[in-house]
């Protein structure tokens, strides 16, 4: 009898030493988002323009694919591009070929201005909330005796002039004597402050309705002289009072004007800008590049590939010129990011794009005698989007922006995995998510997402869902799954996509994510009714030790049991 009890005591002691068996880690419920494309997908898809060019399509055929019913007109002038916002209210500009800092672009200057900067010199521009201050270094300076220090005055940019093309019914461009629209010359006083993340873009005249017209071929543009305007001579110069030669101040915005048609460098950005650079206040100090649209197009960074077919580059140049001219109509300002058009400056220029810009000089896309909103994106996934899908804007005012398939060699597929906990935090769902449903538009893009769970249903617009999770596009499908470990939180770009020029409601805004939720516990993960098998996680060191202990315990138990079974029992006395 004593011999029989001894193994049981050993087993109990071993069990007490090892403890309970390690529980298997619960799988993490996730949503897998499989998508195509990159960007809003409205208008021209750059992958489609590239593919069509490689297949031999002409520039007109490419533009007709993505902007049906439009014709070519002529337009040009100066654009204003915000290139820097300084929270420190200070920025440095450099003059590789020399130049001046003025407190009026042309005409009379305040005392101490203009300040001449020798080649290679630089100046720090500051704004203290009341006055602009310039401090010059690295050059021999003196207050000028004349307004322009003997250099030819740099004329203000030619006001934006657009000659409207005839409607698609005739495809005839206007004669040189036809009426044109023109802007007033830019004021020399400080313009209203704007933001480079949501520039104040101007719509066509209120109430103007665009009526769909028959889709026809895009006609080539004959040689038509571009309208120009004539301005009077600048006001007589007034010799400024002697300055310090190093520092001057003025209540008026400052202008960095390069000599001889050169460029102004902004070392903080590692960029050079043609035209002139203005320092404005009304908030943090900002630098704005005022440059002719043709020079602006040469410095864009939308297509940085000289191997693109010439027809594709020409289509890009025409679309970008049209977008810019419509955006600044009435005095608007462009940003230099993908929320408008990527603009890098003179250092981004390359021969192939220069040639495309020159070959299409002055060509813009028109619809019913007005500039169109020539939006475009990187990759449309093989199907152009409607304005409602891409921007949440009804398409009645944009009949030339319509959903349609297009040829492409690469639809840009992608996939993202997001934990349901992170999904809830990003879309503001206050509960445990158990399901996600989508509703799609005419191009197959998601226009509405319904998040379901313990707190009921929450409906989110497709474009807001896209921005909250930092997705590449709204062309996607969702499925629930489980993973062994929680995926990293998804990135977010804050909704940085191109907007419709002239439609503030379509300009992307910042997306503020909710505070991150605490790490999921095994109980929380198991509570979500998602039952998809997932692989077990690799054991940690503690788990490995516990498993080893249980193996040893089971081996010991088996050995003892075998001993007991194999030993002959004593007969009871």
Q: What is the pLDDT of residues 170-205, one digit of tens each?
A: 333 233 333 333 333 333 333 333 333 233 233 333
pLDDT of residue 20: 61
Is residue 290 in some structural domain? Answer: yes
In a shared domain, residues 351 and 253? yes
In a shared domain, residues 350 and 473? no
pLDDT tens per residue, range 371-405: 999 999 999 999 999 999 999 999 889 999 999 99
pLDDT tens per residue, range 61-103: 999 999 999 999 999 999 999 999 999 999 999 999 999 999 9
In a shared domain, residues 425 and 446? yes
In a shared domain, residues 20 and 33? no
In a shared domain, residues 244 and 329? yes
Is residue 209 in some structural domain? Answer: no
In a shared domain, residues 260 and 334? yes
In a shared domain, residues 513 and 557? no
The CA–CA distances, whole Å, from 501 to 1, 118, 317, 327, 391 equal 94, 39, 17, 5, 11
pLDDT of residue 492: 72
Question: Which domain-ending residue is among 374, 398, 422?
Answer: 374
In a shared domain, residues 242 and 327? yes
pLDDT of residue 156: 41
Residues 163-189 as b or e (16 or more Cβ within 10 Å = b): bbbbbbeeeebbeeeeebeebeebebe
Q: Decide if 360 contacts 314 (C-beta within 8 A).
A: yes
Distance of CA 547 to the CA centre of its chain: 51
Q: Extract the residue ranges of the chain whose pLDDT is less than 70.
A: 1-25, 138-245, 493-497, 502-573
Is residue 191 in some structural domain? Answer: no
Which residue range is the domain that position 145 belongs to? 47-156+235-374
Q: Is 382 left (phi over 0), alpha (psi -120 to 50) or beta?
A: left
In a shared domain, residues 255 and 326? yes
Is residue 115 in some structural domain? Answer: yes
In a shared domain, residues 481 and 549? no
In a shared domain, residues 562 and 485? no
Question: CA end-to-end span of the chain, whole Å?
Answer: 12
pLDDT tens per residue, range 458-468: 999 999 999 99
Report the number of distinct structural domains present in the chain. 3
Is residue 200 in some structural domain? Answer: no
In a shared domain, residues 416 and 430? yes
Q: Decide if 381 contacts 37 (C-beta within 8 A).
A: yes
Q: Would you call 224 exposed, middle or buried from its count of C-beta atoms within 10 A (0-12, 13-18, 19+)?
A: middle
Is residue 172 in some structural domain? Answer: no
Residue 89's Cβ-side half-sphere holds a number of Cα atoms within 13 Å equal to: 13
Is residue 487 in some structural domain? Answer: yes
Is residue 112 in some structural domain? Answer: yes
């Amino acid at each position: 009898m004593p011999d029989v009890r001894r193994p049981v005591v050993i087993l109990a002691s071993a069990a007490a030493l090892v403890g309970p068996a390690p529980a298997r880690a619960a799988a993490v419920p996730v949503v897998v988002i499989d998508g195509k494309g990159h960007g809003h997908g409205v208008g021209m898809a750059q992958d489609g323009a590239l593919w069509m060019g490689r297949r031999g399509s002409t520039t007109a055929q490419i533009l007709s694919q993505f902007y049906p019913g439009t014709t070519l007109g002529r337009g040009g002038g100066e654009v204003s591009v915000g290139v820097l916002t300084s929270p420190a209210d200070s920025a440095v500009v450099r003059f590789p070929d020399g130049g001046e800092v003025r407190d009026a672009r042309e005409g009379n200057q305040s005392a101490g201005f203009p300040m001449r900067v020798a080649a290679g010199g630089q100046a720090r521009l500051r704004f203290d909330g009341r006055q602009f201050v310039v401090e010059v270094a690295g050059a021999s300076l003196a207050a000028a005796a004349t307004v322009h220090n003997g250099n030819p005055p740099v004329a203000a940019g030619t006001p934006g002039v657009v000659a409207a093309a005839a409607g698609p019914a005739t495809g005839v461009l206007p004669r040189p004597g036809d009426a044109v629209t023109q802007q007033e010359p830019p004021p020399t006083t400080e313009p209203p402050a704007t933001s480079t993340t949501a520039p104040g873009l101007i719509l066509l005249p209120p109430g103007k309705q665009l009526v769909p017209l028959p889709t026809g071929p895009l006609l080539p543009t004959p040689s038509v002289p571009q309208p120009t305007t004539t301005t009077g001579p600048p006001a007589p110069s007034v010799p400024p009072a002697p300055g310090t030669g190093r520092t001057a101040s003025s209540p008026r915005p400052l202008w960095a004007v390069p000599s001889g048609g050169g460029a102004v460098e902004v070392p903080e950005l590692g960029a050079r800008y043609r035209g002139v650079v203005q320092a404005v206040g009304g908030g943090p100090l900002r630098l704005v590049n005022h440059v002719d649209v043709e020079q602006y197009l040469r410095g864009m960074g939308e297509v940085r590939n000289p191997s693109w077919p010439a027809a594709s580059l020409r289509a890009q140049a025409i679309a970008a010129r049209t977008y810019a001219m419509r955006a600044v109509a009435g005095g608007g300002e462009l940003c230099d990011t993908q929320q408008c058009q990527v603009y890098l400056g003179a250092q981004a220029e390359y021969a192939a794009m220069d040639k495309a810009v020159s070959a299409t000089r002055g060509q813009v896309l028109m619809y019913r005698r007005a500039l169109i909103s020539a939006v475009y994106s990187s990759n449309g996934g093989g199907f152009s989007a409607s304005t409602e899908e891409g921007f949440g804007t009804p398409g009645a005012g944009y009949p030339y922006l319509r959903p349609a398939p297009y040829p492409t060699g690469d639809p840009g597929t992608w996939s993202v995995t997001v934990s349901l906990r992170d999904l809830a935090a990003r879309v503001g769902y206050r509960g445990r998510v158990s399901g996600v449903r989508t509703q799609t538009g005419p191009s197959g893009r998601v226009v509405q997402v319904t998040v379901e769970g313990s707190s009921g249903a929450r409906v989110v617009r497709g474009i807001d869902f896209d921005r909250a999770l930092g997705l590449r596009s709204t062309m996607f499908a969702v499925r629930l799954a489980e993973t062994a470990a929680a995926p990293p939180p998804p990135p977010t770009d804050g909704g940085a996509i191109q907007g419709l020029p002239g439609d503030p409601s379509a300009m992307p805004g910042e997306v503020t994510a909710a505070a991150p939720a605490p790490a999921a516990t095994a109980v929380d993960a198991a509570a979500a009714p998602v039952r998809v098998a997932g692989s077990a996680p690799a054991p940690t060191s503690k788990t490995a030790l516990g498993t080893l202990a249980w193996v040893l315990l089971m081996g010991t138990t088996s050995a003892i049991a075998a001993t007991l079974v194999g030993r002959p029992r004593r007969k009871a006395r």
